[in-house]
Structure 1
Amino acid sequence: MPQLEVDGATLTYDDEGPRDGDGVPLVFVHGWTANRHRWDHQLAHFAGRRRVIRLDLRGHGESGGAGVPTIEDLARDVLALLDHLEIERFALVGHSMGGMISQTIALSHPARVERMVLVCSIGRMTYSRGRGLLMAASTLAPFKLFIAANIQRAFSPGYPRDEVRAHIRASAGTPREVVMTLYGAMRAFDVLDRVGEIRTPTLMVHGYHDIQLPVRQMLRMAKAYPDATVRILDAGHELPVEKPAELTSALDRFLTAKS
């Protein structure tokens, strides 16, 4: 697989599909403690007719990286990769933290983003005082327990336990300092007062059973967007894993619709 050195990080990525395919390239950005393989179903579907880019964010998957990244650092990495590939205009698809990265890019480089899809993502995390204290306290738990608790609750009830455990093991392979710092960065992320500036046509796809980033928070954000379409699917926060075909279908309809 190809790699790119960016500011002390080695980014592993895939670049597949025809260069002269239908539409601008699709850029897929995974979430916290995940990797580029969250998008296997979408890559297989879209790469037959258009260019598809996906990467392991620094500190995740098969990408290395010195230091501890912020949301802004990760956004700069994505842009650096696209500049390296000489891709000026593109469509962004981001899951969870990847959606936060996508919004950061759309706000800083609006002319480059043709369309955007936010999968189980929000513009601001809001929670009660009790929930906030519980989240803060969870960071004091042993690392493996912290990971297990967060990944377990990302799946809807009844999802196969063996698959959940496999995702917990994979997430625990992400360096602790990266995991904990980005956990704090997501909690502090707040562009809700700025999303009205985003004129990019945007699809928001969310899991009905998402308790990590509840639907009501996404709907609050959707109201502030000038041009947003909303789809709710029967899944939890890990929608790309739980309902890959349904997500791909929603993406396909949105990305091929006329503006």
Structure 2
Amino acid sequence: MAVKPIRYRGETFRIAYDIVNPEADRDLIFLHGWGSSKEVMKQPFAQAFGAWRHIYIDLPGFGKSSNDMVLQTEDYAAIVDLFLQNLGANKEAAVGHSFGGKVATLIKPERLVLLSSAGIVLPKPFKVRAKIALFKLLKPFGGTRLRNIFASSDAAGMAQNMYETFKNVVDEDFRSEFAAFDKPALLLWGTQDTATPPVTGETLAKLMQKSEFSLIEGDHYFFLKNRHPVISKMEAFLETV
């Protein structure tokens, strides 16, 4: 692992990263989902795509990368862009899982692979809406302790700035950003994904002009449990770069 300091909006972010196949002349950027890290992305992919230089990044506030600010998704993309410039990397292709899919879309690679990307907001079930309403009612009396009781597993126990960041990004509707992406895109989704259900991938496929959509057996982390068909589809897609 290496760490590179990146200055953004007057703050220094220490960005942790790993490089695989450092002698390869084409760059393949991997961006993990919320609450995850580069290690999750390395598990299924580090031994694949031998003709590419893999760049695995811990996004600010996750893994070994620092963050003391409240950020928007656009800030994450700007920081990743600065990091890639500093590293001297190109954006021939990027792979983004869940939240990382939104960031990967914003950095505008030549080829984009989305793995169960976040960004298509679906109506919340009544139980969830009732929980949110109760939290807002009790919030003035409970502070951080109440937040930890009501927070989803994605937000529980995190630092206040990351909790505020989570609130900024969790319900973003990225339809317009996805529709604006005009390069080739491969959309892969898990058949049993409940975090970003397959219908969100189908919606994305209709929005993105040059996309292809496939379902693969598995949940939100289908690429960990069923890596071989994922890698096969990605290899075929990346061969045309």
SS in 1 for 2:186: strand
Q: Distance in 1 between matches of 2:175 and 2:228?
A: 30
Q: Determine if the alignment matches structure 1 residue 70 to structure 2 residue 64.
A: no
Match of 1:11 in 2: 15
Q: Distance in 1 between matches of 2:37 and 2:131?
A: 23
Matched to 1:214, the amino acid is: P
Q: Determine if the alignment matches structure 1 residue 235 to structure 2 residue 218.
A: yes
1:184-223 to 2 correspondence within 5 Å? 184-223=167-206
SS in 2 for 1:124: coil
Q: Is this contact kept in 2: 1:75–1:101, CA < 8 A?
A: yes
Q: Distance in 1 between matches of 2:115 and 2:221?
A: 9
Match of 2:148 in 1: 143
Matched to 1:248, the amino acid is: I
Match of 1:79 in 2: 81
Matched to 1:3, the amino acid is: V
Q: Distance in 2 between matches of 1:180 and 1:250?
A: 35
Superposed displacement of residue 138, structure 1: 9.2
Q: Is this contact kept in 2: 1:122–1:218, CA < 8 A?
A: no
SS in 1 for 2:119: coil
Matched to 1:14, the amino acid is: D
41, 45, 48: which one pairs with 1:42? 45
Matched to 2:56, the amino acid is: R
What does the per-residue CA deviation read over 1:84-105, in whole Å, with 9 as the maximum and x for residues that have no partner?
1112332010000000111222
Q: Is this contact kept in 2: 1:206–1:233, CA < 8 A?
A: yes
126, 145, 157: which one pairs with 1:130? 126
Relative distance call for 1:144 and 1:39 in structure 2 (3 A) is: farther
Q: Percent identity?
A: 24
Runs of 5+ in structure 1 lacking a partner?
Answer: 107-112, 151-170
What does the per-residue CA deviation read over 1:213-252, in whole Å, with 9 as the maximum and x for residues that have no partner?
1111221121011100111011111223332333222211
Superposed displacement of residue 81, structure 1: 1.4
Q: Is this contact kept in 2: 1:32–1:179, CA < 8 A?
A: no
- Cα RMSD for the two superposed structures: 2.6
Point out the structure with max Rg over C-alpha: 2
Q: Distance in 2 between matches of 1:124 and 1:247?
A: 22
SS in 1 for 2:62: coil
1:152-167 to 2 correspondence within 5 Å? none
Relative distance call for 1:134 and 1:184 in structure 2 (3 A) is: farther
Q: Distance in 1 between matches of 2:185 and 2:131?
A: 30
Match of 1:2 in 2: 2
Q: Is this contact kept in 2: 1:58–1:69, CA < 8 A?
A: no
Q: Determine if the alignment matches structure 1 residue 95 to structure 2 residue 97.
A: yes
Q: Distance in 1 between matches of 2:224 and 2:149?
A: 21
Q: Distance in 2 between matches of 1:222 and 1:94?
A: 16
SS in 2 for 1:11: strand
1:175-190 to 2 correspondence within 5 Å? 175-190=158-173
Query: Mean Cα displacement is larger for which, 240-249 or 25-34?
Result: 240-249
28, 35, 43: which one pairs with 1:26? 28
Query: Mean Cα displacement is larger for which, 229-238 or 67-76?
Result: 67-76
SS in 1 for 2:175: coil
Q: Distance in 2 between matches of 1:246 and 1:126?
A: 28
Relative distance call for 1:194 and 1:146 in structure 2 (3 A) is: closer
Q: Distance in 1 between matches of 2:107 and 2:164?
A: 20
Q: Distance in 1 between matches of 2:181 and 2:223?
A: 24
Aligned residues between the structures: 227
Match of 2:143 in 1: none
Relative distance call for 1:216 and 1:135 in structure 2 (3 A) is: farther
Match of 1:57 in 2: 59
Runs of 5+ in structure 2 lacking a partner?
Answer: 140-145
